[in-house]
Amino acid sequence: MDAIVSAINTLDAMVWGPPMILLLLGTHIYMTVRTGFIQRKLPTAIKLSITKDPDAEGDISQFGALTTALSATIGTGNIVGVATAIMAGGPGAVLWMWLTGVFGIATKYSEVYAAVKYRVKDKKGDMLGGAMYAWRRAFEKNGKTPWWAVLGATAFAVLTTVASMGIGSAVQSSSMTGVIVSNFPGIPTWAIGLAIVIMVAIVIFGGVRVISSVCEKLVPFMAIAYAWGCVVIIGMNIEFVWPAMCLIVESAFNPQAAFGGLLGSGIMAAIQFGCARGLFSNESGLGSAPIVASAAATRNPARQALVSMTGTFWDTVVICALTGIVLVSTMLAHPELVSGIAEGRIMAGADLTSAAFASIPYVGTPVLVIGMILFSYSTILGWSYYGNRCVTYLFGRRAIRPYQIVYVLAAFLGAVGVADIVWTTSDIANAFMAIPNILMVLLLSGMIARETKHYVWDKNLDERTEDEIPIVEK
């Protein structure tokens, strides 16, 4: 068993190594150029995200699609993931994480554009979309899809389903249970797992409209509450905030300068771990968010693509940056945290996060506990929809209920302590699901650039697309 675990961990390190980072970050930069630096349209995108489009065709609102996608991306990666990056790559990793968010906005725009353009309906009129449908429809000729496009669609759907069980369900319930048990010892893990199953089942069995309705209320509250808590902590560390920001920038190019060289072993370490955790946190390029974006009521693909790209902005550019400043400023204010890392008393990102927030009296621990529980719960809801749509693509609507039952069972198993190997396995599936999605985006980059010019840069965002949404049999 140890040999199997070791092999899985080795494979995980390989797939999330420099080649994957180069693929994703390279695509981010390439699509930034191809879309004419679409990041410049963030103010317009934020305005559109809270604007209803009542006459457009879709299952949920644009804001509902955004908050459902954010529910899946704003998770433990925004808290523990930032600490992990700092421990492995030094404070400079925060800057590289932030930069992946800035450039990742373009990839999120592009993948959502393709997904909405090539979305379909089922017999009941529900919207279906994502990389799997983009592969099938974009490369179809004379009513037939080439084998390689079918392979790309199938691979994405299978890998996303696998990842949803792990990253989306088991790992998140494990995180929730760990936080609850550490702060309220004595509560049995099976009881926590049962409570999670009930809370999740009530929502996800209701379908995308119920999931979206819950996320519309939950996500803004939890994000604002966590951001407010971070701002309070930053205020308590105010004299260390500017030095922390300077240290983040300086150590991004010279990690040895951080804390006397105790954290970070080189520029490449800062780049690798900062980019890896940033890419993992905002999911730009993984193809997950476009699945729910395809259900949005929008008059053309560009509008929803603009709305969806704000998710990367809020997730990484804002929330991850706040967490990074909180952690680094707290480490400057409390040098014992750094010595704890050097002496091996603090060995994991979760340990550093807990120690850093606990060092802030009154507000630190409550902010962390509430943030972790809400972020993990919302991630379970968001990923349930991704897996739902992928099994629908693979097996039809009849597979939805069995999938949902297995999904909540995975949440229970994660709560009672079987998430470690599941985390690593689904982490690998996460990386592999990005490959067919990124290939699809790159192959369609010319179309995306051309139509973005028409809708966005030629100011035709109010124009309705003339493309008819086809009905599929499944």
Residue 330 has pLDDT above 90, yes or no: no
- The mean of the pLDDT values for the chain is 82
* DSSP bridge partners of 110: none
Listed ranges 225-234, 279-288, 306-315, 415-424; the one with the highest mean pLDDT: 306-315
Q: State the pLDDT at residue 372.
A: 79
What's the average model confidence in pLDDT over 360-366? 77
Instruction: State the Cα–Cα distance between residues 352 and 109, nearest whole angstrom.
Output: 34
Residue 377 has pLDDT above 70, yes or no: yes
Provide the percentage of residues in the chain whose pLDDT is more than 90. Answer: 23
pLDDT digits (tens, 9 = 90+) for 89-125: 778 888 888 888 899 999 999 999 999 999 988 777 7
Ordered structural domains, the chain, with CATH: 2-457 (1.20.1740)
**Phi, psi at 29, each rounded to 5°:** -70, -45
Confidence of residue 342 (pLDDT cuts 50, 70, 90): low
pLDDT digits (tens, 9 = 90+) for 273-303: 777 777 777 778 888 889 988 888 888 899 9
pTM of the model: 0.87
